[in-house]
Each structure stands twice: as structure tokens, then as C-alpha cells.
Structure 1
């Protein structure tokens, strides 16, 4: 038997928003996992490679901050990317205690290929929104996260 309780307009609206956001995120994650799987990458590995591709060499703490990751997860991601020969650690010249992470030539080649294809996947995911709707959605999500 279905529960048709009335939680009030505000609560009902909030519940529907949670469902819509969750379904969208699940759909997006499935698309991304499938896409990155074609390159034997996880979403987190792509995040590290993409960040290094666009920002250059970074310390681990900077990578954690830029990719919204945790230190435990980042350790595993870095270790696996190193094993694959896609990134390497360097001692920072001005602070010999700090390591920086950078792309190898193979890592640079791979992320360029993946990133270019990634743009097409994103275009397909957002196909139902026009440019004004995309900008509005971005603005609303930033506001929801307290960034506006």
C-alpha cells in the first residue's frame, strides 16, 4: 500500500529535488565510468590526469584540493597511475621535502586523447539543454553549494 502522506509543499519540493539531483548524478556517473573504462581509467584517475594536464605539476595536497579527493584515495590513485607510467614524482627544487606529481610523456599523450573525446561525451550528456539553460543550471548549483 502506497503512503500518500502530505509533507507540505516545501518538503515535497525538497524531496523531489533530491531525487532529481540523485538520478542525474547516477546517470552522469554511469556515462563517465563507461567512457573512462574504454581507456582503463577510473573517474578519479582521469581527475588527476586532467588536473595535471591543465595546471602542470602539483604537490599531492594541491591535487587533493583540486580534485575534491581524500588523502587515502589519492594515495591509491597516484600509486596506480605511477605503475602505469602515466605520472611521476619529482623532488621540488626549492623545498627538497616536498614531492610534486607530473605527467610523463605517455600520460600527456593519453590525457590529451581522453580529454578531447571527453568533451564530445559531455556534449552528448548535456544535449537537452541550450546554452542559457546550462548557464542557469551552473549558477543555481553554485548557489545551492554556497558558492554564489
Structure 2
């Protein structure tokens, strides 16, 4: 039915998908304890590390769609985690920034997020992690 290489390719796609599902489940469990969704956490995390950004930059950095991001940003704004203001440089753009409440929650979550990631990858040596990164980079190119 399928040749050996096609079967291997299918197995690889399935393995990649299942791996990401497992990682996302573990991450979602942690993030949901704080009443956030993964996309909301992603926005807070990007703003925490990169500073104020326009919506398009957030979409690009979080690999989201504009429709979904509009809802995520609006919900974060309603919850008081972010504020949205017209850009001083370009009145057509809105800049998104963390409020004190947003800074507080992301600074409380982030250490646990790092710990969670460490737990996910603890079974791999530094060499294996670097090899996996190299393979994934090759895959994306």
C-alpha cells in the first residue's frame, strides 16, 4: 500500500503531532491553574520579555491568527492584565502593554513554567537537546 519511506514519513508526522499534544497538555494544566488559556499566557509572556508590542508583532511572535488574537487581547484587557493604546508613532496601530496586574501574574507563573519545561525535557542530555534542535531547524527549512 505505502512504501517504506512513506510509512516512515507518516509515522514521523504522527510522532511529532503526539509529542506536541503531550507537551501542550502539560503546559495547559499549569497555565489553567492561574485562570489563563495558553494563547493568553503566550501574549503575557511575549510582553513580559519583549516589552510593549503592536498587535501584528504579537501575532507573529505567538504564531496566532489575527481573529483569534483579537479575542485573546480583548479578554486580557477586560481582565485587567494588559492595556491597549494608540501608538504615539503611528496612530493606525495599537500598542499592547502589561498592566501591574499583568506583570504580577506573569512573574508569578513564569518560574513554574520554566520548571515545567525542565520537567518535560529532563530525560534528555544537553547533547540530545542540541541534536533535536538541529533536526527541528533542518525540518523547518
Q: TM-score, normalised by structure 1?
A: 0.91
Q: Over residues 2-21 of structure 1, what are the superposed CA-to-partner deviations in whole Å (9 max), with x where a residue is unaligned? A: xxx5x222112112211211
Q: Are 2:107 and 1:112 equivalent residues in the alignment?
A: yes
Q: Over residues 40-91 of structure 1, what are the superposed CA-to-partner deviations in whole Å (9 max), with x where a residue is unaligned? A: 1111001100000111101111111111110000011001100110000122
Question: Which residue of 1 is the match for residue 7 of structure 2?
Answer: 12
Superposed structure 1 runs of 4+ greater than 3 Å apart: none
Q: Equivalent residue of 1:109, what SS? A: helix
Question: Of 71, 79, 82, which residue of structure 1 is paired with 2:77?
Answer: 82
5+ long unaligned stretches in structure 1: none
Q: Give the root-mean-square deviation of aligned CA atoms.
A: 1.1
The number of aligned residues is: 141
Q: Which one has more relative contact order, counting CA pairs under 8 Å at least 6 apart?
A: 2
Q: Are 2:47 and 1:52 equivalent residues in the alignment?
A: yes
Structure having the larger proportion of residues in helix? 2
Q: How do 1:1-148 residues align onto structure 2 when only pairs under 5 Å count?
A: 7-146=2-141
Larger Rg: 1
5+ long unaligned stretches in structure 2: none
